[in-house]
Amino acid sequence: MTEAILLVGGQGTRLRPLTSHIPKPLLPVAGVPFLTHQLARAAAAGVTRIVFATSYLAELFEDEFGDGSRLGLELEYVVEETALGTGGAIRNATERLRSAPGEPVLVFNGDILSGVDLAALRDGHRASGADVTLHLKRVADPRAFGLVPTDAEGRVQAFLEKPQTPEEITTDQINAGCYVFTRSVLDRIPAGRVVSVERETFPELLASGAHVRGVVDDAYWLDLGTPAAFVQGSADLVRGEVASPALPGPVGDALVLPGAHVHPSAVLSGGTVVATGAVVGEGAVVEGSVLLAGAEIAARASVHRSVVGRRARVGEGCVLDSVVIGDAARVAEGNELPPGLRIACGAHLPAHGVRTSASPVPCAAQGIAHSGVPHASSAAH
């Protein structure tokens, strides 16, 4: 038996308003709740039992996946009354494990789309006798991540959280959010309080002389935490840039789910997903975007690298680039929305509602939120 703990209790603040009603790991990505892809991969790697560490919108996970039999997995759910942080969540979930002290337990973040070879990570951990093995990735700009330099044998030398100065950036290897712990090591994490595995547990293990191992690979890897990454991950799955046993259709330029309506003259490309009940009107262009269930793109609108929430409507002739439209929001015809704009759930943006001047957007009271892009209007509430 191989057990795993899945961390899914975060609030997903960087993806608001998409995460206002759905936790990030359950947002539809390439047509199915994101976690379905990672759970299918875990099952394929021989994982048999997974404990979900939930907190934010906790009950929705069990509603979606139940006992896991549909995926060939045995699933359990633990709920934190108040979020315990990544380490506290792992410790809390450890209570439900059945693995013996010397057995390897996989732990992974619920928001990473990854092609890592989980079976090889687990087997390598066992063979090395390490206390913890971390999956590491090389990235071009490591400033937003925790850095993990290793020596020639792959032993971790330090944990450097979100370095800023060039002197602090001593490696391009980052913590990829997927670990193998020897079970007994999990039991040593303090119980009943907030703990960060990245800032507290790993540095303490290193300081105590534990064998902490890093494995770098070239597999696909993407942290779906931001809107840009979210649409990228979905598009990459649809186009087959990363394989998933859970993709609900053939690999291609677009995925149109049953019950969606796309006008024959509309053009879909770049790994776009049109979910059930969504409508794409005459002459509309949708590229690299995610249209959630019941979303509507009116005629001749142009939507690029954006997410359009459930039952949201984008009016005729609108132009969107890298925008997030919350559930049930409405964007009136002719709007050109600047990159980075986010529109709150249920908000109404009237015709010409976004200007490039400093004057406020008239519909501020209905909750337009934006990401601080300089040329967007500044009426955020």
Instruction: Point out which residues bind ligand GTP (CB under 6 A).
Output: 7-14, 24, 53-55, 80, 83-86, 89, 109-111, 225
Identity of the residue, 330 or 370, whose beta carbon is nearer to ligand GTP in the bound complex: 370
Of 223 and 287, the one with the shorter C-beta distance to ligand GTP is 223
How far apart (Å, rounded) are the C-alpha atoms in residues 63 and 56?
14
Dihedral pair phi/psi, residue 289, rounded to 5° = -125, 165
CB nearer ligand GTP, residue 55 or residue 306: 55
2 vs 54 by CB, closer to ligand GTP: 54
**Region for residue 45 given its phi and psi (left: phi exceeds 0; alpha: psi -120 to 50; beta: otherwise):** alpha
* CB-nearer residue toward ligand GTP: 229 or 299: 229
- Minimum Å gap between C-beta 68 and ligand GTP is 18
Residue placing its CB nearer to ligand GTP in the complex, 80 or 327: 80
Q: What is the DSSP letter of 257?
A: -
The two counts, helices (H) then strands (E), for the chain are: 7, 31
Nearer to ligand GTP, 109 or 272 (CB): 109
Q: How far is the CB of 222 from ligand GTP (least distance, A)?
A: 12
Per-position DSSP letters for 295-342, written without gaps between them: -EE-TT-EEES-EE-TT-EE-TT-EEES-EE-TT-EE-TT-EEPTTEE
Amino acid present at 326? G
Q: How far is CA 199 from the centre of its chain?
A: 21
Q: CA 180, CA 142: separation in Å to the nearest integer?
A: 22
**Is residue 264 a contact partner of residue 247, using CB atoms and an 8 Å limit?**
no
Spatial distance between the Cα atoms of 86 and 7, rounded to a whole number of angstroms: 7
51 versus 303: smaller Cβ distance to ligand GTP: 51
CB of 13 to ligand GTP, least distance (A): 4
Task: Kindly state the smallest distance separating residue 170's Cβ from ligand GTP, in Å.
Answer: 22
The least CB distance from residue 21 to ligand GTP, in Å, is 15
Kindly state the smallest distance separating residue 93's Cβ from ligand GTP, in Å: 8
Q: Shortest approach of ligand GTP to residue 340 CB, angstroms?
A: 15
Tokens of 93: 């979930």
3 state SS of 365? helix
Q: Rounded to the nearest whole angstrom, what is the least distance from the CB of residue 16 to ligand GTP in the complex?
A: 8
Per-residue DSSP letter, 135: E
Residue 173: which of 213, 119, 227 has the closest Cα?
A: 213
